[in-house]
């Protein structure tokens, strides 16, 4: 800071920036219904430029992004939804996403989310057709005008997957800060082969997840979905601090 700078003004600027970031983090949610309003390529580029400041081991930046809009998005959606509607067996996950054996508390949290969503939609237990229809909305990016495919080279190790996860989080927060909403979609990784063909992915790339980006539809019933979070004391330990 130079002698001519006002320290109070600098503090206010930092506080304002922190408030903006905090609002974006607190406001972020997984949106499951979007309006058709288009999103400009320049906006997506700005979001990705911000997200690219994410840290990575030795700065290798192992993430890759394929942005789908217009006809490219339409081809991907048509291929995935047609396959899903036909009940065709999907390729298995290219990686293990969920626990092999579910246990508490994770199983309870997953079930709570599922039944909260189905409850809002009026989908009852055993209503397989409507469950499948809701699942299929994943493969239409929940009608968002832009879909991202996040990939990583197959020869990368676990540390690089952590780096990609941090990058994905940065994308979500950057989009929220710019007035857009998102939904990260690990389900798209199950269509790795289909998307590889329609999006022209390199054989050496593995889809990590998709991200739907657009303007949320506040009138959709899913906008009322609440996803509770554990309080800090439920997942964090503080060592060495005074009582």
CATH number for the domain harbouring residue 79? 3.40.109.10
- CA nearest 131: which of 143, 119, 142? 119
Asked whether residue 232 is domain-assigned, the answer is: no
Give the mean pLDDT of 50-58. 98
Give the burial class of 133: count Cβ atoms within 10 A of its Cβ; 0-12 exposed, 13-18 middle, 19 or more buried.
Answer: middle
Asked whether residue 234 is domain-assigned, the answer is: no
Asked whether residue 112 is domain-assigned, the answer is: yes
Look at residue 147 and give its three-state secondary structure.
strand
- Tens of pLDDT, residue by residue over 183-201, are 999 999 999 989 999 999 9
pLDDT band at 103 (very low <50, low <70, confident <90, very high): very high
Domain holding 222, by residue range, is 27-226
Asked whether residue 74 is domain-assigned, the answer is: yes
**Residue that has been written with the tokens 């979007």 in this structure:** 34
pTM: 0.91
Contact 153, 204 (CB under 8 A): yes
Quote the CA–CA distance of 37 and 58 in Å, as a whole number: 39
Q: How many structural domains comprise the chain?
A: 1
- Tens of pLDDT, residue by residue over 202-224, are 999 999 999 999 999 999 999 99
Asked whether residue 238 is domain-assigned, the answer is: no
Residues found in the chain? 243
């Amino acid at each position: 800071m130079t002698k001519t700078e006002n320290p109070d003004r600098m503090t206010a600027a930092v506080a304002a920036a922190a408030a903006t970031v905090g609002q974006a983090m607190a406001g972020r949610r997984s949106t499951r219904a979007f309006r058709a309003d288009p999103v400009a390529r320049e906006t997506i580029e700005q979001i990705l430029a911000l997200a690219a400041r994410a840290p990575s081991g030795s700065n290798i930046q192992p993430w890759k992004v394929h942005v789908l809009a217009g006809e490219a998005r339409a081809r991907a959606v048509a291929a995935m939804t047609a396959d899903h509607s036909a009940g065709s067996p999907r390729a298995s996950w290219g990686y293990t996403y969920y626990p092999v054996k579910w246990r508490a508390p994770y199983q309870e949290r997953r079930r709570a989310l599922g039944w909260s969503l189905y409850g809002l939609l009026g989908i009852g237990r055993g209503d397989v057709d409507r469950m499948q229809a809701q699942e299929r909305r994943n493969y239409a990016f929940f009608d968002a005008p832009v879909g991202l495919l996040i990939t990583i080279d197959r020869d990368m190790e676990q540390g690089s997957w952590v780096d990609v996860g941090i990058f994905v989080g940065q994308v979500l927060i950057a989009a929220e800060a710019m007035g857009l909403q998102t939904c990260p979609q690990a389900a798209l990784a199950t269509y790795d082969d289909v998307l590889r063909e329609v999006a022209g992915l390199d054989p050496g790339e593995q889809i990590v997840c998709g991200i739907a980006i657009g303007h949320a539809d506040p009138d959709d019933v899913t906008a009322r979905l609440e996803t509770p979070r554990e309080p800090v004391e439920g997942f964090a330990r503080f060592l060495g601090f005074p009582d």
